[in-house]
Amino acid sequence: MAKPNLTPLEDALDHLLSEAPVVAQIETVALADSLGRVLAENHYVPADVPPADNSAVDGYALRKQDLHGDRPIPVSARIPAGEAPKPLEPGTAARIFTGSEIPEGADSVVMQERIEVTESGILVQAEVDEGQNIRRRGQDLTRGDLALAKGTQVRPNEMGLLASMGVARVAVLARLKVAILSTGDELVDPGLPLGPGQIYNSNRFTLMGLLTEAGCEVVLCETLRDKREATRETLQRAAEAADLVITSGGVSVGEEDHVRAVLEESGSLSLWKMAIKPGKPVAFGAIGGTPVLGLPGNPGSVLVT
């Protein structure tokens, strides 16, 4: 059981989600630029996929009832993928390829490995089940079905699905604007020499990576000195520029931990300390109506929380 002054993780998550910033602005992007974005509208299937019955294999399309023992069947047509076939002449077979449309009149496809080609036609060397090796029209997507719901994040498979429905431009929510503030007098940017007592700022990059991966836009990224006034000024400025402010460090109980104090003095603090380890001293509140998530400074805690 959680200690009385620690908020259980589930309750903390519920609270954070209830206070989460909501993006309402919609923009349209090219499908090629949609990775990681969030769909702003439902997508319904405009036409059946596949658009017609087609062959699942390279082989021969025929009518099962035309098979009579080991009598060869003449081949009357050749149907490459991408061509609309003529109806199949009764008593004959059509050479067909994977993805080629099934001609009217054919009800089965025999894969070429099961066929012997003779001078007078093909010999089928296997049992044939009516309908075999045919992909049915609409079996992947049926016209009118909901393909992707509003709010879905676009991953590579959604990009492919949208393309398969002929979508070239996509309405997506604007990216959530996030400010990253790293607190700590000891922090130095990578690339600069380290002085005594200093460490490199790694949290900034962990957070940048996590936020970018989540589809957010990092609009402000600053390192904050451990001073109450500087913390207040920067938090207020960040809250104006962003939909969400994330800080690291400065939320413990030391006298140089100003983030939580500024939230209490100049905004609001609605959560402090979650029942998890690492990552206990998480603070959450708001400044000027913008939610502020105060993460602990320890890099492991940042990644976890």
Interaction site with Mg ion (CB under 5 A) = 184, 249, 297
- For ligand AMP, give the closer residue by CB, 34 or 182: 182
Using the contact rule CB under 6 A, the part of the chain among 10-18, 42-50, 105-113, 245-253 near ligand AMP is: 245-253
- For ligand AMP, give the closer residue by CB, 108 or 234: 234
Q: Which of 252, 261, 276, 278 binds ligand AMP (CB under 6 A)?
A: 252
Query: CB of 247: closest distance to Mg ion in angstroms?
Result: 10
Site string for ligand AMP, 48-77 (x = CB under 6 A): ------------------------------
Using the contact rule CB under 6 A, the part of the chain among 109-117, 196-204, 209-217, 227-235 near ligand AMP is: 196-204
Say whether residue 298 binds ligand AMP (CB under 6 A).
yes
Whether the CB-CB separation of 187 and 200 falls below 8 Å is answered with yes
* Cis peptide leading into residue 291 (ω within 30°): no
Residue linked to tokens 């940048």: 208
Query: What number of other Cβ atoms are within 10 A of residue 29's Cβ?
Result: 14
Q: How many angstroms separate the CA atoms of 231 and 250, rounded? A: 10
Residue linked to tokens 């939909």: 243
Q: How many angstroms separate the CA atoms of 149 and 62, rounded? A: 40
Say whether residue 241 binds ligand AMP (CB under 6 A).
no
CA gyration radius for the chain? 31
Q: Which residues neighbour 22 within 8 Å (Cβ) at sequence distance 6 or greater?
A: none
Using the contact rule CB under 6 A, the part of the chain among 130-138, 260-268, 285-293, 294-302 near ligand AMP is: 294-302
